[in-house]
Structure 1
Amino acid sequence: MSPQTGANRPADRTRTGILVALIAMLCSFADFGSISANATETIDIRFPVRESEFDTVFSCQNDSNPDCRSCLANRPDSASLVMYSILQEALNAGGLAARVQVVPSPNSERSRKMVSEGFADIKSDWDFNIDADPEVLKSLPILRRGEVEKGIYVSQDTFALSSDTPVSDVHHMSAVSIRTWRLDWEVLESLAPASLTSAATKQQIYALINAGRADFTLLEFSSGPGMVRSSDGIRLYPMPGVKVVLPASQHFMISRHLPDAEKIVAALNTGIDALHANGFIHQCLTNSGIINEQVRDWRILNPTEDQLAHHKTVPSN
């Protein structure tokens, strides 16, 4: 080996070391860039919406005006739009870059199955439906127990009579609902009406009351004039002064098949807390009529234990 060759070895080793260091640095930058891209990448969340409300929510999804997604537009009959708006806002408030994409579903039962099997990602649902399914996770409550209120909806003739004799109970009245509407049915049974009939469809409920074969049903209060609800030209009216509450809470149901499902639930919970604190959820619920300020002081026919306890602690005038 020549002296000159031997003299170059330290320099070669130095150059090799520098090259290795540069390669390592470039790799670390590449990894950093990959992590940053993943962190800011927008993920799509599939949100199932029943066919009767799909067009409304889909048009809002593609509307350049953000009002419909901010619960500022008046869409009184679309509970799906309310939950879509809350879900999108909660994900954003939780720090997650997500885009909620609606997918059609024939009904709530099918939507539930779609989320459970991974064909959709997130939907809103009652606590007992979520707790019974090991394939899904549950968010913090959107609607707390007892916050969902419904009216005693009757025909126009019965409504006119009630102005003279306000109802104090429904023991003398006949009720109609759909047996698979678990909470409504449970509440109606607790009210002990004179009779309780199961209808096949919501349209049949309206028809039976219109024909005088049933006196009342439970319906969400409308935010429209007089809180009137209508179907196929039949109008039903809320009995003034009384309401019922549903004894359950509503949450988001999240599919365990969704990648990073636990992290998405954590972000969703952070967002839900923030939206309760800043009033966004309450704004959505009141603007849609799910919580109706017009009936705030109406008497609850089936108060929860918490509501009874609160009533006892509030001094009478």
Structure 2
Amino acid sequence: MSPKTFATRSTDKTRSGIFVALSVTLCALAAFGSNIANATETVDIRLPVREAEFDVVLSCQNDSTPECRSCLAYRPSNASLVMYSILKEALQAGGLATRVQVVPSPNSERSRKMVSEGFADIKSDWDFNIDADPEVLKSAPILRRGASEKGIYVREDSLTLSDNKPISNVHNLSAVSIRTWRLDWDVLESLAPASLTSAATKQQIHAMINANRADFTLLEFSSTPAMVQDLEGIRLYPIPGVKVVLPASQHFMISLHLPDAEKIVAALNTGIDALHANGFIHQCLANSGIINEQVKDWRILNPLEGQIAPEKTTPSN
């Protein structure tokens, strides 16, 4: 073999080796670039929202300014808007790029089913509903056990009557609620009112109290100054000085049909912890009336085990 032929073959081998190395490098870079793209890809999240609150949340979704999601200013009660705001902020704080799109739902039960069956992705719910469903995962708590408070709501003229009898004697009063509102119903049964009637709708609850067919119900404290709950012109007021707590925690339920559901839960948990630490979640809950600073020192009629009820602030005879 001539030196010239040997040199030519050596050069060819060298070039071939360089080509192979370059190909491997380019493949690695392509894979690396693909991983970066996947890491920064925006995930679409479908959030079911009750029809009664859908327009407000949709308007916020389409608003380019962050004010409706900031939870930094007073706004009327809208539980769906609160959870929409917390969900968006928690995902962002957890380092996940998402687009939260609201989809209409007639009620909470249907929303729960939509998430379970994969027709929606995430919603907020009580721990017992999430734990009972094998098709969903549960986030860290948004609302810790016992943090959700409700008032004893009556007609305005009943407020005067309440000054003349110990309010702790709710067993002298008749109550109305909706039986499928599991937590409310359990709390009312524990209070042992004179009677407990199930209504079909929230409108019917207000109508029955307005017609003196029931004395009181449990309602969230409104974020208005007087904490009035007004439904179709029927105004109900909380009896001052007393409240109840709900013995459950609230979380996000995440559909297992959602790709990378476990990673999304991990991001949510990181974000929720951060939003508890910086006060964002508390501010959201306070602005909506779910947590109401005006009733912070009111006596709890059904304190949980280990929970100390504040001293009663209303007079009793």
Q: Structure 1, residues 69-118: CA drift from partner, whole Å, max 9, x if none?
A: 11124332200000111111111111111121111100000000000001
- 1:186 aligned partner: 186
Letter in 2 for 1:257: H
Letter in 1 for 2:286: T
Task: Work out the CA distance in 1 between the residues paired with 2:103 and 2:283.
Answer: 25
Per the alignment, in what secondary structure is the counterpart of residue 236 of structure 2?
strand
The equivalences for 1:47-86 within 5 A come to 47-86=47-86
Task: Work out the CA distance in 1 between the residues paired with 2:73 and 2:276.
Answer: 19
Q: Does structure 1 conserve the Cα–Cα contact (< 8 Å) formed by 2:177 and 2:185?
A: yes
The equivalences for 1:262-301 within 5 A come to 262-301=262-301
Q: Structure 1, residues 253-297: CA drift from partner, whole Å, max 9, x if none?
A: 000011010111111111111111111100101111110000001
| Count of equivalent residues | 311
Q: Does 1:30 align with 2:18?
A: no
- 2:132 aligned partner: 132
Task: Work out the CA distance in 2 between the residues paired with 1:292 and 1:225.
Answer: 10
- 1:98 aligned partner: 98
The equivalences for 1:13-24 within 5 A come to 13-24=13-24
Per the alignment, in what secondary structure is the counterpart of residue 253 of structure 2?
strand
- 1:246 aligned partner: 246
- 2:315 aligned partner: none
Task: Work out the CA distance in 2 between the residues paired with 1:122 and 1:166.
Answer: 44
Q: Does structure 2 conserve the Cα–Cα contact (< 8 Å) formed by 1:152 and 1:219?
A: yes
Task: Work out the CA distance in 2 between the residues paired with 1:9 and 1:187.
Answer: 89
The equivalences for 1:39-50 within 5 A come to 39-50=39-50
Letter in 2 for 1:246: L
Per the alignment, in what secondary structure is the counterpart of residue 116 of structure 1?
helix
Q: Does structure 1 conserve the Cα–Cα contact (< 8 Å) formed by 2:297 and 2:310?
A: no
Q: Does 1:174 align with 2:171?
A: no
Q: CA deviation at 1:165?
A: 4.1
**C-alpha root-mean-square deviation of aligned residues, in Å?**
1.5
Letter in 1 for 2:269: N
Per the alignment, in what secondary structure is the counterpart of residue 46 of structure 1?
strand
Q: Does structure 1 conserve the Cα–Cα contact (< 8 Å) formed by 2:44 and 2:99?
A: yes
Q: Structure 1, residues 229-265: CA drift from partner, whole Å, max 9, x if none?
A: 0111100000010000000000000000110101111
Q: Structure 1, residues 205-235: CA drift from partner, whole Å, max 9, x if none?
A: 0000000000000000001131000111100
- Worse-superposed segment, 155-164 or 50-59: 155-164
Q: Structure 1, residues 142-162: CA drift from partner, whole Å, max 9, x if none?
A: 101100000000011102322
Q: Does structure 1 conserve the Cα–Cα contact (< 8 Å) formed by 2:117 and 2:255?
A: yes
Per the alignment, in what secondary structure is the counterpart of residue 227 of structure 1?
coil
Letter in 2 for 1:58: L
Letter in 2 for 1:231: L
Q: Structure 1, residues 20-42: CA drift from partner, whole Å, max 9, x if none?
A: 11111111111111111111111
Q: Does structure 2 conserve the Cα–Cα contact (< 8 Å) formed by 1:75 and 1:288?
A: yes
- Worse-superposed segment, 19-28 or 233-242: 19-28
Letter in 2 for 1:101: Q
Letter in 1 for 2:244: V
- 1:315 aligned partner: none
Q: Does structure 2 conserve the Cα–Cα contact (< 8 Å) formed by 1:166 and 1:241?
A: no
- 2:121 aligned partner: 121
Q: Does structure 2 conserve the Cα–Cα contact (< 8 Å) formed by 1:169 and 1:301?
A: no
Task: Work out the CA distance in 2 between the residues paired with 1:161 and 1:193.
Answer: 17
Normalised by the length of structure 1, the TM-score is: 0.95
Per the alignment, in what secondary structure is the counterpart of residue 47 of structure 2?
strand
Per the alignment, in what secondary structure is the counterpart of residue 282 of structure 1?
helix
Per the alignment, in what secondary structure is the counterpart of residue 267 of structure 1?
helix
Per the alignment, in what secondary structure is the counterpart of residue 285 of structure 1?
helix
Change (3 A) 1:215 1:311: closer
Q: Does structure 1 conserve the Cα–Cα contact (< 8 Å) formed by 2:300 and 2:310?
A: no
Task: Work out the CA distance in 1 between the residues paired with 2:17 and 2:87.
Answer: 52
Q: Structure 1, residues 104-145: CA drift from partner, whole Å, max 9, x if none?
A: 100000000000001101000000000000000001111011
Letter in 2 for 1:197: T
Task: Work out the CA distance in 2 between the residues paired with 1:47 and 1:99.
Answer: 10
Gaps of at least 5 residues in structure 2 are 312-317
Q: Does 1:12 align with 2:12?
A: yes
